[in-house]
Amino acid sequence: MKRALLLLCLAAAARAEERAFLETETSRDTYFVNEPFRLKLRIGVDRRFFETHAVQMFSRELDVPVQVQAPWLDELDGTVVRDDDARPGRRLSLALNDNVVEAHRGGDHLRDGRPYTVLEIERIYVATHPGKLEIAAPQLRFAHATEFKEDFVHGRMALDRRHALVKGQPLTLEIRALPEEGRPPEFTGAVGHRFTVHAEAAPRTLEAGTVLKLVLRIEGEGNLEFFDPPRLDGLAGRFHVYGRIDDKGAARRTITYDVAPLRAAVAEVPAIPFPYFDPRDPAGYRTVRTVPIPLTVQEGATGPAEPPPRKEAPRSVLPEVLAATLLAAAVAILLWRRARGRAAQDPGTAAAFRAH
């Protein structure tokens, strides 16, 4: 009898595990260093089974009463993780790792003739070094029962509560280093495709030595937030580059440089190259350029302008003043303690010390 009951419980647990699934999806199994890629976790639950048999696992009621363990959705060694799932549509709550999150509801799925409610959680990753990238198998836990009773205080309560565990499949990705062959000297780490670069300058009529704003706007599908800004090597000898302001966005990178033409012979801001690595087949380096910007540069009152000498920032003396003050205080306390100790050993000296 006990053996039959055990087999019945195991069969029920096996059937319960068939009421949910986990799938990890990505478009390729090979990526390059600095190339953004997406990982999507799909979670499916048997809609009718969960409506009638699922039990809430926590005090907070969830739309889908499951707990998913997939730590790589929050942090994955060797990568930078970004949550960029802003897709419109309905979202449903569930427990993910140690938090409650809202997951995007995907399209319904039929499995063995049963409708499944599907949730999707997506992240963008940028691998920082080459090698194997191991994504552990996700796990899903839920509670279920076949018998319930209505409680006046607690509501619907399970009488034969059981727990089920569903495991997905692990995933291994290969991360390749960017090739050295064909790499342009101006390359600063941009990886992606459909990059464009546009330049603007103001003012366009000015005296030599006067600063103008040179704005680069870079758009494309790639690691816009992670590469270094263009170095403007092509401006050397004709312009002095003072500094820049870098506005990093997920859809556009805007870099504003302060530059000054050095002499009236400068007639334009030359075309600025922007090289990037395109991982699509055939993978390789590509370069786009800005359109040259004509300038009218007049000679300054003092003749041709030269780059200003580098000035060292004034050194603060505050640390030295604080150190000297603390040292003097320590010496005073030490002398006071020694005098007090000698006074305590000699009654006459002690009386004089107190009087003093």
What is the phi-psi region of residue 218: left when phi exceeds 0, alpha when psi lies from -120 to 50, beta otherwise? beta
Contact 282, 212 (CB under 8 A): no
Considering the entire predicted model, what is its pTM? Answer: 0.75
User: Which one-letter amino acid corresponds to residue 130?
Assistant: P
- pLDDT for residue 316: 47
Query: Inter-axis angle of helices 347-355 and 318-345, to 10 degrees?
Result: 130
Radius of gyration over alpha carbons of the chain, in Å? 34
Answer yes or no: is pLDDT of 7 > 80. no
pLDDT in tens, 191-215: 999 999 999 999 999 999 999 999 9
Mean local confidence (pLDDT), 59-69? 94
Go through the chain and tell me how many residues it has.
Answer: 356
DSSP 133-185: EEEPPPEEEEEE-S-EEEETTTEEEESS-EEEEEE---EEEEEEPPPSTT--T
pLDDT in tens, 107-159: 888 888 899 999 999 999 999 999 999 999 999 999 999 887 887 666 677 78
Distances (CA, A) of 90 to 50, 63, 190, 330: 19, 12, 35, 67
Question: What is d(CA 35, CA 126) in angstroms, rounded to the nearest whole number?
Answer: 6
Mean pLDDT of the chain, nearest integer? 84
Distances (CA, A) of 179 to 127, 189, 215, 222, 283: 15, 12, 30, 17, 10
pLDDT in tens, 148-164: 788 766 667 778 999 99
Three-state SS sequence of 62-76 = CCCCCEEECHHHCCC
